[in-house]
Amino acid sequence: MLQNVTAVLLDGVHPFELGVVCEVFGLDRSDAGLPVHDFAVVSAEGPVLSTHAGFTIGNLHGLDRLEEADLIAVPAGADYGRREFPPELLDALRRAVDRGSRVLSVCSGVFVLGAAGLLDGRRCASHWRYAAELSRLHPRAIVEPDVLYVDEGPVVTSAGTAAGIDACLHLLRQEYGPETANAVARRMVVPPHRDGGQAQFIERPLPRDRCDTVGTVLGWMERHLDQEMTVEQLAARAHMSPRTFARRFQQETGTTPYRWLLRQRVLLAQELLETTDETVDSVASRAGFGNAAGLRHHFLRTLGTTPNAYRRTFRGPSHAA
């Protein structure tokens, strides 16, 4: 049973990520018939901790409180990918997993679980900005940079900031069923389950710096995303054979012409969905997908969501219907 929940903090903790855990597990919602948890906030580094926002937090429990916990949550903090963690904290996390308790990380809190060896051989999520560093520090971890959270038995890891809400609601859903998770989500005024993953949020700037020989063709491709184009046609524009062009393209962009073109078309469709009132069919045509079915297919494959769901999530208030 998920009754005893703790959030364990280190110096430099991020207040929002801590607040996520406190909001989901620390509030008494018994007036709505929702479960109440024995919740505590624990310090791993002294009686008073600083936060990333500049204020301090005191009146915290000691590490011995972790020995009773059914769930230990580790919120994000400053520079967690470049610091050492208290050995006694790492030991407590390992003991918790060994006795059948669960551990949860929010955003960069995943580095603490990695230092405890709890990611070895397990899939895990992290904020997309930290995925490469997490893989480098913990090569035995299976980092999933495009998902909101990963549940690997006793270890649950979530991506950046708000993805911690998704992971916490997932735990409620597992423990108490969808009605409880949905009720808590309604109280928090958040969706009980979000479609898609981090791929919707990742910035992918165009690789310009090394495109010495295909840069002109890249510019033409960007300006004509709505047109059909083949490697043979592109190679002719670059005054190369198709084989040489494909090889140079791979060397200078890190991908194939088809994949580069597909990604740019998706990026254009994202921009149009966010900033215009054009129909999905019109967006699909302008972005080179032909029709709404083609756009939906590639959106699902690339971003894990549909064009309409993406528009609902990302369009600004000035474009609200």
- Please tell me the distance from the alpha carbon of residue 196 to that of residue 204, in angstroms, as a whole number: 17
For residue 170, being part of any structural domain is answered with yes
The verdict on 166 and 307 lying in the same domain is no
Residue 240 neighbours by CB under 8 Å, 6+ apart: 213, 248
The verdict on 29 and 157 lying in the same domain is yes
| Domain that residue 303 falls in | 215-319
How many Cα atoms sit within 13 Å of 297 on the Cβ side?
8
The verdict on 241 and 181 lying in the same domain is no
> What pLDDT is stored for residue 317 in this prediction?
43
> What pLDDT is stored for residue 51 in this prediction?
96
Q: Please identify, among 130, 163, 198, the residue that sits at the C-terminal boundary of a domain.
A: 198
The C-alpha angle 268, 271, 275, rounded to 5 degrees, equals 145
The verdict on 272 and 301 lying in the same domain is yes
> What pLDDT is stored for residue 215 in this prediction?
79
CATH code of the domain covering residue 273:
1.10.10.60
> What pLDDT is stored for residue 282 in this prediction?
95
**Cβ-contact 167, 104 below 8 angstroms:** yes
**Cβ-contact 101, 154 below 8 angstroms:** yes
The verdict on 53 and 156 lying in the same domain is yes
| Kind of pairing between the strands at 71-74 and 56-57 | unpaired
> What pLDDT is stored for residue 88 in this prediction?
98
Residue 67 neighbours by CB under 8 Å, 6+ apart: 92, 95, 96
Q: Which residues pair with 155 in a beta bridge?
A: 103, 152
- Please tell me the distance from the alpha carbon of residue 137 to that of residue 143, in angstroms, as a whole number: 11
The verdict on 130 and 92 lying in the same domain is yes
**DSSP assignment of 91-136, as one string?**
HHHHHHHHTT-EEEEEGGGHHHHHHTTTTTTSEEE--TTTHHHHHH
CATH code of the domain covering residue 187:
3.40.50.880
The verdict on 228 and 181 lying in the same domain is no
Alpha helices in 159-291 (DSSP H): 163-176, 178-188, 215-223, 231-237, 242-253, 257-275, 280-286
The verdict on 58 and 120 lying in the same domain is yes
The verdict on 125 and 186 lying in the same domain is yes
For residue 207, being part of any structural domain is answered with no
For residue 293, being part of any structural domain is answered with yes
Q: How far is CA 121 from CA 45, 95, 110, 152, 266, in A?
A: 29, 18, 14, 10, 33
The verdict on 27 and 171 lying in the same domain is yes
* 141: nearest Cα among 112, 108, 119: 119
Q: How far is CA 63 from CA 16, 23, 91, 92, 98, in A?
A: 22, 21, 10, 8, 17
For residue 74, being part of any structural domain is answered with yes
> What pLDDT is stored for residue 142 in this prediction?
93
Q: Please identify, among 166, 198, 230, the residue that sits at the C-terminal boundary of a domain.
A: 198
For residue 45, being part of any structural domain is answered with yes
For residue 79, being part of any structural domain is answered with yes
The verdict on 121 and 69 lying in the same domain is yes
For residue 123, being part of any structural domain is answered with yes
pLDDT along the chain (321 residues), means of 10: 95 96 96 96 96 95 97 96 96 97 97 98 92 94 88 92 91 89 89 65 49 78 91 92 90 84 89 88 94 93 87 59 41
- Please tell me the distance from the alpha carbon of residue 281 to that of residue 302, in angstroms, as a whole number: 18
Q: How many domains does the chain have?
A: 2
The verdict on 192 and 238 lying in the same domain is no
Helix (H) or strand (E) holding 296: helix 292-303
Q: Please identify, among 198, 225, 258, the residue that sits at the C-terminal boundary of a domain.
A: 198
> What pLDDT is stored for residue 316 in this prediction?
47
Q: How far is CA 37 from CA 4, 24, 34, in A?
A: 6, 10, 10
For residue 206, being part of any structural domain is answered with no
Question: Could you list the active site residues?
Answer: 107
Helix (H) or strand (E) holding 38: strand 38-43
DSSP 8-state class, residue 54:
S
